[in-house]
Amino acid sequence: MNYTTQMDAARKGIVTREMEIVAKKEGIKVEKLMRLVARGEVAIPANKNHKNIEPEGVGNGLRTKINVNLGISKDCNDVEKELEKVKVAVEMKAEAIMDLSCYGKTQEFRQKLIGMSPAMIGTVPMYDAVGFYDKELKELTAEELLKVIETHAKDGVDFMTIHAGINKETAEVFKRNPRLTNLVSRGGALMFAWMQLNGKENPFYEHFDKVLDICEKYDVTISLGDACRPGSIADSTDPSQIKELMTLGELTKKAWERNVQVIIEGPGHMALNEIKANMMLEKKLCYGAPFYVLGPIVTDIAPGYDHITSAIGGAIAASTGADFLCYVTPAEHLRLPDLNDMKEGIIATKIAAHAADIAKGVKGARKWDNEMSDARKNLDWNKMIELAIDPEKAKKYRENSRPEDEKTCTMCGKMCAVRNMNKVMSGKNLNVLRDDE
């Protein structure tokens, strides 16, 4: 039986190779996964032209996935450095990589990225449009913008951020409700500017059926972009954000009618006490579609540490409904991340995702923690390092400060509670000041 997309297959009762792989990774029955894909509660982004992909599922009941942003800019256009980041991101088991290149002819880099990455690949075609045609923003036509989407799809991109929700209605709501930080979404701001400069409707909204034609043909998952995501905690959960979210819900239903998979993108910057309600709103207004959040960054005062502010918000978001976390690095708001920034961003986001999976009761999530706790009880330092989310750093810290008693560490030495409890509970003598007898 033929099918066009993963959703189409699921609705026809066809178990695809991708579904089998995802079900095995998640430890669930493939029939259950198929039902979730059919309802749109899980997406499996897997472009037909991305031949070496190792598929992942994003959505309800599955492990929280993370995305790594890469790509060149005009000021930092070293392709080799970005390709090195790709290698490391794959080694660190990031489930997704987004190419956010916004300078020059990006297709060569994008094709190399897709060819070498088993992780799912995302892009934002709007970033590419100016360089693709070597035209100023105002001069781009609707047909040309759609052509960029088709080019990315042909190249094998698995999911694309499409800012279709910033239509004329949403733009008017934004203009009537001033913000502290206006629009901070790069693609959203470009689309808003295009609309204002040309006095026309957003072509991705006006011609959404044509966008769906492309996505259905290649099985590209639409990641419906949040042009109005808050760029400060002052702007969160405001009329612009909610109006756009309502529009994204309407577009989700249109996409599902065509068997096109959908992910919804969300905030942004947001105070801790608003996160849970925002997760509920997205799931309600977008009919349970998978939710992809940047952070949320929970305070605006920590440039250089926004991987931490983001991980705090990400853990809360994912534990209360978000399915996919976009990493944030220490370089956020300051510069293009370097390799070390990327590593720190990945680790911080993986910690947030795993903490959320424990809270959500995702199958097998606690097993890793229990194994680490057992290694700590047994003072098995090699096993602790092996199990660490960042073994390289754990090993470095251990080796940089060696204790007198190799079973302990230099924090407590022979006063180590674990060492002493092990001895006492097994009926052995305990010496703290002198060598053991």
Binding site, annotated residues for substrate: 69, 98, 127, 163, 185-187, 226-229, 265, 292
> Phi/psi class of residue 373: alpha, beta or left (left: φ > 0; alpha: ψ in -120 to 50)?
alpha
The span from the CA of 289 to the CA of 262, in Å, is: 7
* Eight-state DSSP code of residue 415: G
Annotated binding-site ranges: 69, 98, 127, 163, 185-187, 226-229, 265, 269, 292, 333, 409, 412, 416
Axis crossing angle, helix 168-176 with helix 239-257, rounded to the nearest 10:
170
Structure tokens that stand for 375 in this block: 């290694």
Q: What phi and psi, each to the nearest 5 degrees, are found at residue 202? A: -55, 120
User: Distance of CA 10 to CAs 34, 48, 143, 216, 260, Å?
Assistant: 5, 16, 32, 14, 12
The span from the CA of 54 to the CA of 24, in Å, is: 12
Structure tokens that stand for 282 in this block: 């997205």
The span from the CA of 203 to the CA of 344, in Å, is: 38
The span from the CA of 341 to the CA of 307, in Å, is: 9
The span from the CA of 35 to the CA of 82, in Å, is: 38
Closest CA to 315 of 353, 267, 266: 353
The span from the CA of 216 to the CA of 320, in Å, is: 31
End-to-end CA distance of the chain: 74
> Phi/psi class of residue 396: alpha, beta or left (left: φ > 0; alpha: ψ in -120 to 50)?
alpha
Task: Evaluate whether 163 touches 205 at the Cβ level (below 8 Å).
Answer: no
Annotated binding-site ranges for Zn(2+): 269, 333
Annotated binding-site ranges for [4Fe-4S] cluster: 409, 412, 416
Beta carbons within 8 Å of 260's beta carbon, 6+ residues apart: 5, 7, 212, 215, 216, 220, 221, 222
Task: Evaluate whether 71 touches 100 at the Cβ level (below 8 Å).
Answer: yes
